[in-house]
Amino acid sequence: PSCRRYVAGGECKSTAKLEGKVVIITGANTGIGKETARDLARRGKVIIACRDIAKAEAAANEIRAETGNQQVIVKKLDLADTKSIREFAEKFLAEEKELHILINNAGVMLCPYSKTADGFEMHLGVNHLGHFLLTFLLLERLKQCAPARIVNVSSLAHHGGRIRFHDLHGEKSYNRGLAYCHSKLANVLFTRELARRLQGKSQRQAERFSAWLFEHHAGNFTVNALHPGSVHSELVRHSCVMTWLWNIFSFFLKTPWEGAQTSIYCAVAEELDSVTGQYFSDCQPAYVSPRGRDDQTAKKLWSVSCELLGIQWD
């Protein structure tokens, strides 16, 4: 019925192959991450980066069997622990010479108040800071293998978020729904600021090496964010009420396959080759909240994130 079709939303029509290319997807053992991995495994080599190795191996086995692609590899990554993120990156860089697409997909939602191993509030720590650090550690390899793409899975929930610099870790006041919104706004701002910095770099290089190089390199490294839609997945597992509502209204929710379409689109669609710093929903550009377009907040979040993680990222 047309109502169901409307709920399903956009579909990625690209048949682009990723032969010889390597994709990392975080949190790809379940939900939209798993469906994204399943699709991309039909195109190229996929690395599933997850905390739960047993679950990840089960997902990988299923995908290998279905796609016939043996190049679906599981690696351990716990985004709630910077030590694990650094170990993952170190191992990956030692074992793999290529990386073309990084999909920052993993996320937590509606967790009761808790902190990561490094003392960050869980939503901010996993959804934003964990992926911020991971991207930082893998950036040079992506640059070497350009054309390359970074895809950040955000959410429509970013509209309800604000970056509360005075209480980033929710110690003064905490609402788990809002904490999720704040972290998703952080994803949008990170995407915006990273795109700006990458573009600035290629423009400066261009001025040095002539217009030809700029033409050649400006569009070969992109970063975009997206809203997957309201998806029937395990993401709401921390809330009994949401789980109950999700089950009742499942007809009006996307399946994980439908929810993965925009992630896949941002990862492979040819028409996005030189599109960067944008936000998509249903495989098309979508409206970003005014807070998500605030460049001052984006810059400040960048420097605060670097400070919290103890890194220098210029």
* H or E element that contains 46: strand 44-50
Name the residues annotated as catalytic. Answer: 180
Taking the CA of residue 303 as centre, how many other CA atoms within 13 Å lie in the half-sphere pointing to its CB?
Answer: 6
DSSP string, 111-148: PPS-B-TTS-BHHIIIIIIIHHHHHHHHHHHHHHT-SE
Distance from C-alpha of 94 to C-alpha of 85, rounded to nearest angstrom: 14
Looking at residue 5, its amino acid is R
**Which one, of 28, 7, 30, lies nearest residue 235 by Cα?**
30
For residue 185, what are the contacts with CB-CB under 8 A and spacing of at least 6? 154, 158, 161, 162, 163, 289, 291, 292
